[in-house]
Amino acid sequence: MSSTNPVRNTPQASLGSGFPTLLRKELSRFWKVGFQTVAAPVMTALLYLLVFSHVLEERVRVYDTVSYTSFLIPGLMMMSMLQNAFANPSSSLIQSRITGNLVFILLPPLSHREIFMAYVLAGIVRGLCVGACIWIVALFFVKLPVHNAAWIIVFAILSCGILSILGLIAGLWSEKFDQLAMFQNFLIMPATFLSGVFYSIHTLPPFWQAVSRWNPIFYTIDGFRYGFFAASDVSPWHSLIIVAGVFAVLCAFALRLLASGYKLRS
């Protein structure tokens, strides 16, 4: 009995330690260069806020009780959170692939679920850190009301989760930086900018309103904004169902890719 117990327990101990190690590695990866991964997006959002609020504050009013500057801040927060949640896993995987150390992820006894959770959670944390910093900086310009903190937290986590999973998928698919840049420039960037960050979709012509309703990113921003102002372009429950549904579908798809070893074992 004594000779078999160590053999039986060793794999379990390895499995238990692999996930937190990979998660810690992914968290420390962006935190060590926080000036680039956190401070830079905050500065970019601040520049957007200064320019658009200065030009449009007196000319645009989306909701009767909300100033344009206040309306703009949740949109900028969510846009920055989404972009950074996508960037964390995608950049990590493409760098690992190019430098040739992607194999070290496969050597430890990590399940595909543990790999998935480590990359996605790290992306969510980075997105939330950026969003929290933008919120803190924005408080120097205008005080944001908080109608329902639960809505804000739920939409922030689910939305960052969606883009983090997309970043994981893009990182698995891309074999060089050009392919990853194509994914960012032709899918992520247009989807975030055309999602109601700077405007209400009710100000658009009917055709573009219909197009916007097919953009899942629109529902992340609209539901997130509802948590602050109790006002939105569509029902927050409708937004929540769509966002949660997209999150679930992407989870299943990404887990399937990892379980099959897509572009990892070839």
26-72 confidence digits (pLDDT tens): 999 889 988 888 999 999 999 988 887 777 666 666 777 788 888 88
Q: What is the sign, positive or negative, of the torsion defined by CA atoms of 245, 250, 252, 253? A: positive
6-22 confidence digits (pLDDT tens): 333 334 434 456 788 88
Give the residue with greater pLDDT, 60 vs 218. Answer: 218
Mean pLDDT estimate for the chain = 86
Q: Of 166, 120, 152, 136, nearest to 227 (Cα)?
A: 152
pLDDT value at 183 more than 70: yes
Give the residue with greater pLDDT, 19 vs 124. Answer: 124
Angle in degrees, 0-180, between the axes of helices 149-173 and 216-229, rounded to the nearest 10: 160
Provide the pLDDT for residue 56.
67
Instruction: Please indicate, yes or no, if residue 182 is contained in any of the structural domains.
Output: yes
Instruction: Please indicate, yes or no, if residue 178 is contained in any of the structural domains.
Output: yes
Q: Where are the alpha helices (DSSP H) in the chain?
A: 5-31, 34, 40-56, 68-99, 103-106, 112-138, 149-173, 177-183, 189-193, 206-212, 216-229, 236-260
Per-residue DSSP letters for 45-109? HHHHHHHHHHHHTTT--SBTTB-HHHHHHHHHHHHHHHHHHHHHHHHHHHHHHHHT-THHHHSS-
Mean pLDDT score, 232-260: 94
Mean pLDDT score, 98-116: 82
pLDDT value at 124 more than 60: yes
Angstrom distance (rounded) from CA 166 to CA 79: 15
Angstrom distance (rounded) from CA 239 to CA 220: 7
pTM value is: 0.88
Instruction: Please indicate, yes or no, if residue 266 is contained in any of the structural domains.
Output: no
pLDDT value at 3 more than 50: no
Give the residue with greater pLDDT, 104 vs 230. Answer: 230
**Band of residue 245 on the pLDDT scale cut at 50, 70, 90:** very high
Mean pLDDT score, 196-220: 88
Q: Please state, as a whole number, how many other Cβ atoms lie within 10 Å of the Cβ of residue 46.
A: 17
Please count the structural domains in the chain: 1
**Band of residue 266 on the pLDDT scale cut at 50, 70, 90:** low
Provide the pLDDT for residue 17.
65
Instruction: Please indicate, yes or no, if residue 256 is contained in any of the structural domains.
Output: yes
Instruction: Please indicate, yes or no, if residue 235 is contained in any of the structural domains.
Output: yes
Provide the pLDDT for residue 5.
37
Instruction: Please indicate, yes or no, if residue 3 is contained in any of the structural domains.
Output: no
Q: Are 127 and 164 in contact (CB under 8 A)?
A: yes
Instruction: Please indicate, yes or no, if residue 265 is contained in any of the structural domains.
Output: no
pLDDT value at 136 more than 50: yes
- Return the C-alpha torsion angle 171, 174, 178, 183, nearest 10: -70
Instruction: Please indicate, yes or no, if residue 172 is contained in any of the structural domains.
Output: yes
Mean pLDDT highest for which of 9-23, 89-103, 142-156, 180-194?
142-156
Provide the pLDDT for residue 15.
44
- Domain hosting 92: range is 18-260
